[in-house]
Every structure is written in structure tokens, then in C-alpha cells.
């Protein structure tokens, strides 16, 4: 198939891309140093950033350059793909692989840089606030600072040193997000050391499969740990068509009920609602990396048209043809406008 040269802007809707990655060059340099020194004991990080951070093959080299750009190249790429507006977020794993103090400082610095880019291009960008979950109380403070700067939500790149937000020590982050009405985008990270070995052995640890397994587990464990019973107004976002959770939701409901009622696990306790209810009431999903009509339609059918939105996953998956494929979906115009524009405007308050 020949590469699509360019996609015109639509007259029917604003195309808002909601999972678009960036990274300051300083952070990319830190990733390279961390990989070369092998000091993290994190085989997933070494697999991902050993590739994207050091390979001179065309794709990783291009991704590195585009990640660090917040001006001409990114805007030209958006123009060429007919993307009106992008929600920008610090790429995975963000500052979450760093030590606590470095992570806190670098989250703040990167938020300042992103805020300046939004100020330069307010009609093209909005931003998600990067946090260091290593310090939950300071993360809540940074969220407050970001909210005042006009940020539209929070980015969390899944696990932090193998720890998950279902652990109550992280719940000050949820409490603050709910109080400030900021949605949290739960973006993939590479699986932690405790999970990744069988995936590495077959080369399936990355975005092809490992990311979805890891992040789906993370989102599900946030639900089953009772986060949304504690913080019922909290809203979260997951990409990649919901990291497979919508497709699993019938079985999640059946087996959660079966295991809770038989008291099989001490840490799997009753919830106020069904697992699938939380997916419909507290979770938005995006089509990042999954511009595939049957999956979009299935998600709209099961979660609701008001829960599913567009994302490109730039610069990792900059495929202009996918925009045309989404335009050409056989769904009503009013639903397509919700998908590209309406849902994002609502969840990010654009």
C-alpha cells in the first residue's frame, strides 16, 4: 500500500489526538545513561530504551527526534495528518524509573517545558501533568501546580519500580485527582521484572503484547482494589482500545463475583458495583495504536459512545492512513464527531 501523502483537516469535526508523547532531550539522555550503565535491574526498561534510546535504525532514530520536538516538526506532522489538536504527555516510563528526588525535580522541569509549548501553540496543544508517584504527597502538590498552569489531566506511565497504584500508599494521588477534577491517563510501561521474563524469551514484551497485559492488569487491579468506591468521581483513561478489558468484561464480572462470594482471596473484596460498571462510569478509552473499526465499534457498543475517543500515539505510530480509516468507519456522523472531538472535549474540558 503506498504511503498516504497527507490528510486534509475535516470540516465535520476537530480531530483531537489524545495520547501523544514527548520527552525533553535531557530525559532521553538520562534513559541512555541508565541503559548503558545497566543500573536499574529492570529488563523491560533495558529492552525498550536499549532499542529506542540507542538504535540507529530509521524508526527509533526518528522516534527520538520527534519525541523531543514540540514545535515545527510536530506541528508539520499534525498538519499533514489532519490533526487539529494534540493532548501531550511525557513518554513512558516518564520519571518513574528514577530515584525519588530526581523524579520529583524532573517531573516539575518537564511540566514547565510542556507548559511553555502550550503557551506557544495554544490552539494546537493541551498538556497532561507528569508526576513522580515515588512521592505521592508531592505528586499531589505538583498536580495542583499543573492545574493552575492549565494542564488538563495527569499522565501516569503504569508501574513505578514494580509497584502499582492499587497499593493504598499511592491513593493520595487519586484523592487529589478527584478533588481537582483531573482525569488520570494510565499509559503503558514495560512489564516489571517480576512479570517480563517469559515475554522477553519470545520477544513479546513490548507494545505488541506485554504493554497491554501489564497495563490491563494495572487498570483492573485499580478497579478491584476499590479505588472507585473510595473516589467515585475519579475518571481515568486507558489507551489501546482499553488494553483488552472491554473484550474481557463479561468474564471479569462473572469471575469477580464467583471469587468474591467464595472468599478465595483475602485481597479480593466485594465492590459496590460490577467490574464492567466501573469501566462504563469511571474509565475512558482511546484507540491509540488500534485504529481498527471493529474494535472501535465493539467498545462503543459495550462502554458507550461517550466513553471512546481518538488517539494517534505519535510519534510511535504516525500512520496517516489510520486517520482516513477512522474517517471511513461505518458509524453515524454524530458518533464519529463524539469519537474525534466530543468525548475529548468533555473529559479534558477543552
Min separation Cβ 314 and Mn ion, Å:
9
Which helix or strand (DSSP H or E) is residue 113 part of?
helix 100-120
Q: Which is nearer to Mn ion, 95 or 252 (CB)?
A: 95
Separation of alpha carbons 152 and 174, rounded Å: 15
Of the candidate spans 61-69, 97-105, 141-149, 306-314, the one that interacts with Mn ion by CB under 5 A turns out to be 306-314
Q: Which is nearer to Mn ion, 65 or 251 (CB)?
A: 65
Crossing angle, helix 171-180 and helix 136-149, to 10 degrees? 20
Q: How many residues bind Mn ion (CB under 5 A)?
A: 2
Min separation Cβ 199 and Mn ion, Å:
18
In angstroms, the Cα distances linking 86 to 15, 20, 271 are 9, 6, 36
Burial pattern 283-306, b for ≥16 Cβ within 10 A else e, equals: bbbbbbbbbeeebbebbbebbebb
What mask of x and - would describe binding to Mn ion in positions 51 to 70, judged by CB under 5 A? --------------------
Min separation Cβ 288 and Mn ion, Å:
5
What mask of x and - would describe binding to Mn ion in positions 90 to 119, judged by CB under 5 A? ------------------------------
Of the candidate spans 59-67, 78-86, 168-176, 312-320, the one that interacts with Mn ion by CB under 5 A turns out to be 312-320
φ/ψ region of 312 (left if φ > 0, alpha if ψ in -120 to 50, else beta) reads alpha
Residue 313 touches Mn ion, criterion: CB under 5 A: yes
Of the candidate spans 19-27, 34-42, 78-86, 219-227, the one that interacts with Mn ion by CB under 5 A turns out to be 19-27
Of the candidate spans 17-25, 160-168, 245-253, 257-265, the one that interacts with Mn ion by CB under 5 A turns out to be 17-25
Q: Which is nearer to Mn ion, 21 or 165 (CB)?
A: 21
- Cβ-closest residue to Mn ion? 313
* DSSP states along 39-106: -S--HHHHHHHHHHTT--SHHHHHHHHHHH--SHHHHHHHHHHT--EEEEEEPTTTTTTS-HHHHHHH
Chain-centroid distance of CA 192 in Å reads: 17
Min separation Cβ 152 and Mn ion, Å:
17
Q: Which is nearer to Mn ion, 47 or 225 (CB)?
A: 47
Separation of alpha carbons 125 and 115, rounded Å: 10
Min separation Cβ 286 and Mn ion, Å:
9
Binding residues for Mn ion (CB under 5 A)? 19, 313
Amino acid at each position: 500500500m503506498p504511503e498516504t501523502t497527507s490528510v486534509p483537516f475535516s470540516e465535520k469535526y476537530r480531530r483531537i489526538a489524545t495520547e501523544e508523547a514527548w520527552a525533553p532531550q535531557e530525559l532521553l539522555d538520562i534513559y541512555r545513561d541508565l541503559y548503558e550503565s545497566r543500573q536499574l535491574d529492570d529488563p523491560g526498561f533495558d529492552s525498550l530504551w536499549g532499542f529506542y534510546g540507542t538504535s540507529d535504525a530509521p524508526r527509533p532514530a526518528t522516534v527520538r527526534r520527534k519525541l523531543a520536538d514540540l514545535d515545527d516538526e510536530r506541528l508539520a506532522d499534525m498538519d499533514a495528518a489532519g490533526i487539529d489538536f494534540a493532548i501531550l504527555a511525557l513518554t513512558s516510563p516518564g520519571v518513574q524509573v528514577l530515584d525519588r528526588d530526581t523524579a520529583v525535580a524532573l517531573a516539575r522541569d518537564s511540566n514547565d517545558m510542556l507548559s511553555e509549548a502550550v503557551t506557544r501553540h495554544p490552539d494546537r496543544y493541551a498538556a497532561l501533568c507528569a508526576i513522580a508517584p515515588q512521592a505521592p504527597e508531592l505528586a499531589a502538590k505538583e498536580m495542583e501546580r499543573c492545574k493552575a498552569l492549565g494542564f488538563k489531566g495527569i499522565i501516569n506511565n503504569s508501574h513505578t519500580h514494580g509497584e502499582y497504584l492499587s497499593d493504598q500508599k499511592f491513593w493520595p494521588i487519586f484523592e487529589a485527582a478527584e478533588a481537582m477534577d483531573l482525569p488520570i491517563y494510565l499509559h503503558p510501561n514495560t512489564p516489571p521484572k517480576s512479570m517480563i521474563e517469559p515475554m522477553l524469551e519470545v520477544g513479546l514484551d513490548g507494545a505488541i503484547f506485554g504493554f497491554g497485559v501489564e497495563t490491563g492488569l494495572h487498570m483492573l487491579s485499580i478497579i478491584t482494589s476499590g479505588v472507585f468506591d473510595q473516589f467515585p468521581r475519579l475518571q481515568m483513561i486507558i489507551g489501546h482500545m482499553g488494553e483488552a478489558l472491554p473484550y474481557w468484561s463479561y468474564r471479569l464480572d462473572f469471575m469477580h463475583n464467583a471469587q468474591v462470594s467464595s472468599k478465595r482471596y483475602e485481597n479480593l473484596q466485594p465492590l459496590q458495583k460490577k467490574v464492567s460498571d466501573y469501566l462504563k462510569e469511571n474509565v475512558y478509552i482511546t484507540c491509540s495504536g488500534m485504529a481498527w473499526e471493529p474494535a472501535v465499534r465493539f467498545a462503543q457498543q459495550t462502554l458507550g459512545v461517550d466513553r471512546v475517543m481518538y488517539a494517534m500515539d505519535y510519534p510511535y505510530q504516525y500512520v496517516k492512513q489510520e486517520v482516513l480509516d477512522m474517517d471511513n468507519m461505518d458509524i453515524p456522523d454524530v458518533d464519529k464527531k463524539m469519537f474525534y472531538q466530543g468525548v475529548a472535549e468533555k473529559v479534558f474540558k477543552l
